[in-house]
Structures are given as structure tokens and as C-alpha cells.
Amino acid sequence: MQGEDDLGGLAKIMALMRAVSILVVLMHLYWFCYDFFEERGWTLQIINTILHNFNRTAGLFSHTIYSKLFATLLLGLSCLGTKGVKNEKITWKKINTALISGVLIFYFNTYQLNLSSKASAYLYIFSTGLGYILLMLAGVWMSRLLKNNLMDDVFNSENESFQQETKLLHNEYSVNLPTKFYYHGHWHQGWINVVNPFRATIVLGTPGSGKSYAVVNNYIRQHIEKGFSMYIYDFKFDDLSTIAYNHLLKHSDAYKVKPKFYVINFDDPRRSHRCNPLNPVFMTDISDAYEAAYTIMLNLNRSWIQKQGDFFVESPIILLAAIIWFLKIYESGKYCTFPHAIELLNKKYEDVFTILTSYSELENYLSPFMDAWQGGAQDQLQGQIASAKIPLSRMISPQLYWVMTGDDFSLDINNPKEPKILCVGNNPDRQNIYSAALGLYNSRIVKLINKKGQLKSSVIIDELPTIYFRGLDNLIATARSNKVSVCLGFQDFSQLTRDYGDKESKVIQNTVGNIFSGQVVGETAKALSERFGKVLQKRQSISINRNDTSTSISTQLDSLIPASKISTLTQGFFVGAVADNFDERIEQKIFHSEIVVDAEKLSAEEKHYQNIPAIRSFKDEYGNDCMRNEIDINYRNVKTDILEIVKNEMERIANDPDLQHLINKD
């Protein structure tokens, strides 16, 4: 009842204002057309006295414009409280026509007062009245439209816009991205502050959504500027590697010890360093060999990720692990490389099993194979061995052998005494072959960087599903205290689930603290919308009949960023959330904004980018290119090494009475 009384009182005030406005117009006409009214005897002394007093105290009639402006002001205020039936045919075009016509007729008819004919008074009174009516009509129509402004926002943009972070929160680890966001009908400048990158970051987005350009590239640049050691998986080599190389040239002074830049590139040995991921120095237990074998085999057989624990999945992994550990303990690991392991695996299984089982630490490890061999289950044994041989045979490549048998650097990239920026390059046309070898580098690096007392480091994996990164979930969960930042880029959650399995995919999704998402669709968009929560939003319904308009406004909780909005994001626009710290609180962690990239500045920088230099020239003393010859020699040396190992080991077993029982088991 109180609300109805208030509305009724407001309506009376509006009506009074309009009446006063009309009265001011009549007073204006009486004053400026006095001769016209006097000729007809329509004047009164009391009115004259009142108007003269008005003019003396307020100057209301000292010029024609003053009284007209006062009347218009009162009319405008009265229209704010106008009630009436909404007409769907009312448009802004009609309102503007009435408003402009009214202003022109009402305010610019003063010249008629200077005309000497009697008709000028009639014309002035008529034009002033017509102009006032047009202004009143425009005001009433406008007020009726403005009252229903929620109906004009058909995409609910106003309800779903929200205040975002506008302060720059900067620290020695942070990644800070400038943004533009829409709120209350205006665009505002803001910041996305990743103040704790060690809580891991996911960058999602369909191809072309801008995730690398706007986010991943910024992680590379800003972390180099802040002195991070870095590991970059460059799926489309050398897009990310070129950025890292040139930014390091400009900002090497950010490091106490200047880092060295290393590249692993199987396509072009001239532009690749050599590194042995199975370096025996960093393999302290047979479980290290098992982890390496696991990574290799699951990268070569992605379907095995869903079948971990199956007999025909575990058997080839165990066989490869035994071979790797044998090479580690044989002659102090002199031949412990991945190419040597491939070559040894492809020798006659009778010789391989005889040699391996002659070592007590491997005998129990190979019991599934020995049981099949001794029990005469040749079909089972051949199946177990073939499961390892066939996929690994695809990796027999002289160039791959060359890169993986050298020792230009070690994989402890965050060693404070020898910091490194390491870029490993894949090739979309050969990813099935290269991913296994590169996955081996990944697994070794995860082991080596997640230690205390090391330099802060950044692991950046773009297009994550193209490679199996074993131990990634554990790295995200445990590496925060060791200052390891992880940034993962991929297209959507279903892609991750397909290539990593449901369990590991869920762990990765649920343990990251910072998330960026460009345009994604389907279940990924729904999951993100739920993650961002709900907010109180206005809802309006209108019922129009012949005599009245009924408007109902209500509120309800609804998605802050609905899945439909995430599914239609423009290139460069991102939604997401960031994590904060105890001493760096971020009140508004969620964002929905455009990440501002200074395209002109970047374009100018890229024009001066240098190509990653060649590592080796492969020239002989006469200046001839001998790359193919050197690589082929290395390839043959690996094969020769394994032949020598098999020959020497079989002779050792034959000459040892305690081991002769291993020969001719078949």
C-alpha cells in the first residue's frame, strides 16, 4: 500500500509540472502578443501586475527564449513519470522526427513577432502551440520506450556484463595482460593479473581464437623478461621458438647467469643441438627406465592410454624398460641412448632374453616373457615382442638417431649455474613419429626440474594433445613450491580426454588455478559456465492490452557467463578466472574481456627478428656439405655398437659356467 501511495503522489507531481509548463507557455503568449489580446479586450490588470512582477524578479520575459526554456524543462521532467499504454509502433525514428520538428517550430518562430500584419500574431500563437504539442508528444513517446529498456537488450548483454579488475598487480613472477571490457554501457580498461603462475594455467580455444597470439606468446615474453628458465614444446616449429630466441637476445640481462638457448629439431640437424634424454647420469633407479619406456610406448600407441594395466600393454613397456636399464648398467652407460635401445630390441629375441636374464636385477623383471618362452607359448611371446617392435620400428631414422645420441647439454634446464631455454620442435606431418621421442624429453625434464633449490622455471606446452606428457598431472599438483610454472594450450576438454584418458584429463582440469578460454563449444563451454558461477539478474515481462500496459520486473540467479556466450566469442576475446595469493588478493577473479595486443608494436619487433642460427655447418675441410655422410656414419655406428654388445655378451655367457644354462632354452 505504501508503494502504491508513493506512485500516486509521484504521478500528481508530474501532472502539476506539466500544468505549470502549459501555464508558462500561455503566459509567454500573453506577454509577447499583448497587443493582440488587448484589441479584443482579453487583458486583465491583475494578470499584467503578476507578469510584470515575474519579469522584474526573475527576468522570465526579458527574452522569448527564457520562458520557452523554462516551459520545456518542466515538460521534460513531467514526461519522466508519464503512464500510458505502450504502442509497439512507436520507434526512435518517429520520436526524433517529432522532437526535431517541435524544437524548430517552438524555438525558431520568433521572427513572426516582428511582422506588422495582424496575421503574424495568429501565426506565432499557432506555431508556438504546435511546437509545444510536438515536444510533448516526443517526450511521452520517449518515456514509454525508456521504461521498457530491458526489452531492447535482446541478448542480455547488460545483465551479463560485470565489473572486472582494473588495477595492475605486478610481482616478480606475474603475467599481466591488458584488457578492454564492457560494463554499464561503456568499455573500460582493465588487467588480467596472473600473480601466481605456479598454480598452473590452461589456455583453451578453437583454432583461430587467438590463444597463442594473445596468451601463450605473452607467457613466453614476460617470463623471459623476469628471468625464468624455460621449456617450450613448439608443435609448429619454429613459431614459438623464434619468439623465445629473439626475446632472450633483448632481455638476457634479466638473468644472474646468462642462459643458453638450445633447440631440438629432428627435421633439420643443422639447426638442432644433440641431447641424450636417457643420459645415465640422471637415471638412478630402474623405475626411471620404466617411466621412459612408458612415455615412449604410450606416445606411439595413444589407444594404450585408456588400457593402462592390460597385459599386452604392460608387457612391451616392461621389455623396453629392461633394455634401457641394461644399457644403463652395461659399461657404465656408455651406450645408454634411445637409438641403441631400439636397435637392441630388434635383435633376435633369443639373444636379447639370454643377455638380459644374465643380470640378476633384470631376471625377475622379464619373468612374463621367460614363462612364455620356457612354456612353449610362442604365439603369446611373439605377440608381446611384436607389440614393442612394430611401433618402435617406425622411429628408425638416421636424423633422429643423430640428435638423440649426442650430448651437447643436459636436461636440468633450471640449474642455477647453467640455466637454459630449451625449445623442442615437432612437425604436424610427422607428429606420430616425433611425439614419442619428444615425450621422452618431457618425462625426463619433469623429473629433473621438480626439485628444491632450483631456478624458477616455465614449462609451456602448446597443442598439448599432440604429445603424451607423462607425469603432467603430478607436476601441476606438486611443482608449485619448487617455482615451476606450467602453461598448457589446447582446443577443448574433449580433445584432452580423448588423448589422455578421462581420469588424467579430469585431474588436469581440476587442479589448474588459472584458466583462459577463447571460443569453445559443447560440453567444454557448459563446464566453464558452471565454473564461473551465477549472478543475480533482472527479468522483465510486459503484457499489453487495449487500455493498459502491465510490466513485471523480477530477479533470479542465472549464469554469469552462459555457455552460449562462450560458444560465440570473437577472436581475441577470452573468459576465465585467475588465482591469487595470501598477500595479493584479487576481489574479481573472473574476466570476460578482449585481451589487448599492440599489433603495430609486435609487427615492428617481428620485422627485426633474427632467424635461429645454424648449430652445425657440416662442412668438410674443402667446404663440401657432408651432413648426410656424418649422419649415416652415426647411424651405422649405433648398429655396430649393438652388434658388438650382443657378440660380447653371448661370448661372456658361453664362457661362464654359471650362465651356460641360459643358452639354447628353446
DSSP labels, 262-288: EEEESS-GGG-----TT-GGG--SHHH
- Report the C-alpha gap between 538 and 293 in whole angstroms: 58
pLDDT above 70 covers a percentage of the chain that reads 87
- Report the C-alpha gap between 514 and 487 in whole angstroms: 9
Taking only the tens place, the pLDDT of each residue in 435-454 is 888 888 888 888 888 888 89
- What is the pLDDT averaged over residues 539-567? 74
Residue 66 has pLDDT above 80, yes or no: yes
Nearest residue to 219 via CA among 235, 201, 205: 201
What is the band of 213 on the pLDDT scale with cuts at 50, 70, 90? very high
Nearest residue to 29 via CA among 137, 149, 112: 112
Q: What's the alpha-carbon Rg for the chain, to the nearest Å?
A: 40
* Other Cβ atoms within 10 Å of 54 Cβ, number: 16
Residue 70 has pLDDT above 80, yes or no: yes
At residue 363, what are phi and psi to the nearest 5 degrees? -60, -50
Taking only the tens place, the pLDDT of each residue in 12-31 is 787 888 888 888 888 888 88
pTM above 0.85, yes or no: no
pLDDT number for residue 545: 64
Residue 210, Ramachandran bin (φ over 0: left; ψ between -120 and 50: alpha; else beta): left
pLDDT number for residue 666: 44
pLDDT number for residue 350: 82
Q: In what order do the strands lie in the sheet with 484-489?
A: 186-194, 175-183, 590-595, 573-577, 514-517, 201-204, 484-489, 457-462, 229-234, 420-425, 260-265
Nearest residue to 599 via CA among 214, 337, 249: 214
